[in-house]
Amino acid sequence: MAERIGIFGGTFDPIHVGHLVAAVNVRHQLQLDNVVLMVANIPWQKAGARRVSPAQDRFDMVRAAVGCVPGLEAGRTEIDRGGPSYTADTVAEMARLHPGAELFVIVGWDVSAELGTWERLGEVRDLASLVVVNRPGTPAPSGLWQQGWRVEEVTVPNLDISSTDLRARAADGRPLDYLIPEPAVRVIRERGLYAVSG
């Protein structure tokens, strides 16, 4: 059987259990060999709007959070490529590195509503299936089939957690425990990420 690889892109600023619970449940339901949590180098849709933490810090948090959970992996392809991160480039690179593999691009409901803004969307659609996971606070998407996607819907536990809220919590000194895996919380503490002065 062909290798089945999930690509779950994000800024992961910081990673949280909402990301991880989605990743493991998609992997299970779609019987993927691997889900790569692909850390955006420059999240061009967010850059400018707010201060984004250095890519290496975000990658280290993801790697720490993933630990040795089977089938999950922190991806640094976009960081190594440099520049703004476009999923079209990432999917093309994964297709080249894994000839014959089936690729699945995983997005939450909020992101699925913004696909129209992606660069070279058609290239992503040609090379990968789209996996959509529920996320509280945003409506379910509609019409993705009509836009020509091969779509898989995966229902995951509803976790109303966002990196935006976690950055505010960290800045206020509120607890991050159990919302972010402990090893990633340690990276935040050691490097003073999200402190108000930082």
Instruction: Give the strand order in the sheet containing 102-108.
Output: 72-75, 34-39, 4-10, 102-108, 128-133, 151-154
Question: How many Cβ atoms sit within 10 Å of the Cβ of residue 66?
Answer: 22
Identify which of residues 2 and 140 has a Cβ nearer to ligand ATP in the complex. Answer: 140
Q: Which of residues 8-67 bind ligand ATP (CB under 6 A)?
A: 10-13, 18-19, 22
| Nearest CA among 46, 45, 26 for reference residue 36 | 26
Name which position in 78, 163, 184, 185 contacts ligand ATP (CB under 6 A): 163
Shortest gap between Cβ of 196 and ligand ATP (angstroms)? 17
Shortest gap between Cβ of 126 and ligand ATP (angstroms)? 20
Shortest gap between Cβ of 1 and ligand ATP (angstroms)? 27
Identify which of residues 2 and 150 has a Cβ nearer to ligand ATP in the complex. Answer: 150
With residues binned 3-state (H G I as helix, E B as strand, rest as coil), the percentages for the chain, rounded to 5, are 40, 20, 40
Shortest gap between Cβ of 138 and ligand ATP (angstroms)? 8
Question: Beta strand pairing status for 72-75 and 128-133?
Answer: unpaired
Using CB under 6 A as the binding rule, whether residue 159 contacts ligand ATP is answered as: yes
The tally of CA atoms less than 13 A away on the side-chain side of residue 20 is 22
* DSSP code for 6: E
Shortest gap between Cβ of 163 and ligand ATP (angstroms)? 3
* Residues in touch with ligand ATP (CB under 6 A): 10-13, 18-19, 22, 107-108, 110-111, 133, 135, 159, 161-164
